[in-house]
Structure 1
């Protein structure tokens, strides 16, 4: 198993998910040029699937397309009302000598205000993220956690 006991892994996952969500939703509002950096590097897994998997309201996009999509959107103000996380895979890489050797499932819901900071239309949203440890962070650069899979939906 990875280098952390279960309770330590859960605590680390909760703190990581909270920090990640705070930074990520602020970037969607104020730093749209950085959005693609929140995703893992593209790769094809042994089963032939390609990651990262980005789905926005049913549309499959690359991280670069997702970032461009946000550049075309009007002002957005996210209000995260619920964030829940769970360790998804407690041993991402067999025998890896790191304390960040697990994946995190993050479920987020809230509202997003469109067009105006105050008084604009507000829509409910639900988003599911799978976070993995960043390979570049293990080399001393970048974010600690990145998105391997995301699914964003407006809700009625």
Structure 2
């Protein structure tokens, strides 16, 4: 008879929720800021990360991610849902913080209209935001006693939907 898997303690669920909120806030703010994007976003990824953007693999090394981001137009993400689940902790990890499975949905606007505010009415299909879904596996890389763990991206998969 196998042992049923024990549920996560409430502290792990709370840590996952807080970690997910902190991560997405920092990540998408940096992504949408052109002066920060290609400098800060590559630091979010582990060297062994798997990165897929709309079915296209992007190298996880800083140079590949920077080149990819530099080729992207301006963006403005509007997050609508955030779902996070703790995964099994790494057996070799110094901390007990779990890996996180994070799913984000929302809309993103790309292009020069990102900089327009007010009552600008879109005149072309490319000026409308597109729905997206992004799934991350986050690995704890640093954790101090009583502090929120610091996470890095082990896997990222972005896809336009609809």
- RMSD of the alignment, in Å? 1.9
d(CA) in 2 for partners of 1:110 and 1:54?
Answer: 19
Cα offset, 1:55, TM superposition? 0.6
d(CA) in 1 for partners of 2:90 and 2:18?
Answer: 19
In structure 2, stretches of 5+ residues that fail to align are 1-7, 117-121
> What is residue 106 of structure 2 aligned with on the other side?
110
What secondary structure is seen at the aligned counterpart in 2 of 1:52? Answer: strand
d(CA) in 2 for partners of 1:52 and 1:58?
Answer: 15
TM-score (norm 2): 0.76
> What is residue 93 of structure 1 aligned with on the other side?
91
State the number of aligned residues.
135
In structure 1, stretches of 5+ residues that fail to align are 43-50
> What is residue 9 of structure 1 aligned with on the other side?
12
d(CA) in 2 for partners of 1:132 and 1:99?
Answer: 11
Cα offset, 1:70, TM superposition? 1.5
Q: Deviations over 1:38-84 (max 9, x none)?
A: 012x2xxxxxxxx2100111111123323321211111000010000
d(CA) in 2 for partners of 1:16 and 1:138?
Answer: 12
